[in-house]
Amino acid sequence: MHNPSQSGASLEISDLSKAYGSFKALDAVSLTARQGEFLSLLGPSGSGKTTTLNMIAGFTSPTSGEIRVDGREISTLPPYRRDIGIVFQHYALFPHLTAAQNIAFPLQRRGMPRRDVAVRVAEALEMVKLDGYGDRYPRQLSGGQQQRVAFARAVVFKPKLLLMDEPLGALDKKLREDLQGEIRRIHRSLGITFVFVTHDQEEALALSDRIAVFNHGRIEQIGTSRELYETPATEFVARFIGEANIFSGTLVRGDAGLALDTPVGLLPVETRLPAGRQASLVVRPERLEIGKAPHAGSDPHVPATVRDVVYLGSNRRIEIVFDDGRTGIIRGSGRGTDVGAGERIDIRWSIADGYVVPFSSSQTGDGHGS
């Protein structure tokens, strides 16, 4: 029905900055969203993702930089001329208007004839499965229903770009999962470019084509869910996306190749980084194996003590303490994971499952409440 290449807009942001006095809320951020793409802006609160959204919407003016939609610079346009749909965190439905009147609002502003408005409103209500609820006022609707009305209102005027600011944040887990499915369905059927702001990495992983990870007003990495998980660019990304065991130290060249010299021992690694650099090794919890005796082969391995075992049905989550006092996590199933608290174990992984990221001082920024 819709041709995605026609109904979605491309978004290009280049060198976008916002300073409040000496504080840089956003520091030279560049990113692009392709036509019809689902792009998430992910990061802890205060990382700049909402500032970016507000500047795309026109509620905040950039200190410097450009925002282009389909190649057209929009920074100077007032918000009401931008033709961008927005779903707000707390829905921002007009309480004095019914659901149908809320959805009709953007159509009326565009001077659409009354009869066409009625048809489009009915279609929109049907799209979000709220047929028959048009006459209700927002306060007569549940949270999830209000969310749907807000969504319908934001797309009914067929914007080419839809911004969503933590739209599921106020809902409970079950409802969120249902609505995530619906958002994906509607995204596919409309072909609109979606920019989705969230602090919830699972939500971002589940929904997005690509994710931009924000931290301290900068983008740490942009990539697909898989790229972010398997090849994080920085320690921050590694910690923020999923769970990670992280060993920091200096790269040294040993007789068997490169290794990372860490407080818990010399760990063989594969990386293009040169010897002598400070770096961190990231190993995902499900890549770790448990041995009862020290590993004899050439794979990296570290002794540890089991602190706690959490049984999660399909797998177990094992918290461990390394000898330098730092903690780590193992996820797995099967007999190998049958350990008890206090037990001494030896954990190991295949050298290819470790991923080395350069050390940078900004990585210490996880005091930021991630």
Partner 1 sequence: MRGGIPRSPGRIFAWGMAGLVMLWLTAPVLVLLPLSFSGRRSFRFPPDTWSLRWYENFFTDSTWHASLLTSLKVGLLSTAASMILGTMAAFALHKLYFSGKAFVTGFLLAPMIFPGVVSAIAIFGVYLTWHISGTLTGFVAAHTVLSLPFVIVSVRSALRIFDWELEKAAASLGASPFETFRLVTLPLILPGVLIGGLFAFVISFDEVVVSLFLQTPFVRTLPVQMYLSVTESIDPTVAAASTIIVIVTVASILISMLFWQKRKTSDA
Partner 2 sequence: MLNDTRLRWLILFVPVAVLGVFFWYGVADSLWKSFASPEIGLQNYAAFLQSPAEMAVLRRTFLVSIGVTAVCLAFGYPYAYLMTVTTARLRTLLMVVVLIPFWTSMMVRTYAWVALLQNNGPLDRVFKSLGIGGLALIGTPGAIMIGITQILMPFMIMSLYANMVRIDRRLLDAADSLGASPAVAFVKVFVPMTVPGVVAGCTLVFVLSLGFYLAPVLLGSPQHAMLSQLIVQQVSQLLDFGRAGAMAGVLLALALSVVALGAVLARPAIERGYGENT
Please report, as ranges, the residues that interact with partner 1 according to CB under 8 A. Answer: 57-59, 78-86, 88, 90, 92-96, 105-106, 109-110, 137, 153-154, 157
Determine which residue in the list 5, 6, 61, 350 makes contact with partner 2, applying CB under 8 A.
61
- Closer residue to partner 1 in complex, CB, 161/244: 161
Partner whose footprint covers residue 129, from partner 1, partner 2, none (CB < 5 to 8 Å by kind) = none
Query: Per the structure block, which two tokens stand in for 144?
Result: 């999830």
Closest CA to 341 of 314, 308, 370, 316: 308
- Closer residue to partner 1 in complex, CB, 105/349: 105
The gap between the terminal CA atoms of the chain, to the nearest Å, is: 41
Partner whose footprint covers residue 61, from partner 2, partner 1, none (CB < 5 to 8 Å by kind) = partner 2
DSSP string, 152-204: HHHHTT--SEEEEESTTTTS-HHHHHHHHHHHHHHHHHH--EEEEEES-HHHH
Alpha carbon distance 70, 343 (integer Å):
59
User: What is the smallest separation between the CB atom of 41 and partner 2, expressed in angstroms?
Assistant: 22
Piece of the chain touching partner 2 by CB under 8 A; list 20-28, 54-62, 64-72, 327-335? 54-62
Partner whose footprint covers residue 326, from partner 1, partner 2, none (CB < 5 to 8 Å by kind) = none
Piece of the chain touching partner 2 by CB under 8 A; list 15-23, 57-65, 229-237, 242-250? 57-65
Partner whose footprint covers residue 86, from partner 1, partner 2, none (CB < 5 to 8 Å by kind) = partner 1
Kindly identify the residues of this chain, within the stretch 194-233, that bind partner 2 according to CB under 8 A: none
Q: Give the DSSP H or E segment for 50.
A: helix 49-57
- Closer residue to partner 2 in complex, CB, 58/223: 58
Query: Per the structure block, which two tokens stand in for 82?
Result: 């931008």
Alpha helices in 267-368 (DSSP H): none
Cα dihedral sign, 266-272-276-279: negative
SS3 for 90? coil
- Closer residue to partner 2 in complex, CB, 30/75: 75
Give the footprint of partner 2 on this chain (CB under 8 A): 58-59, 61, 78-79
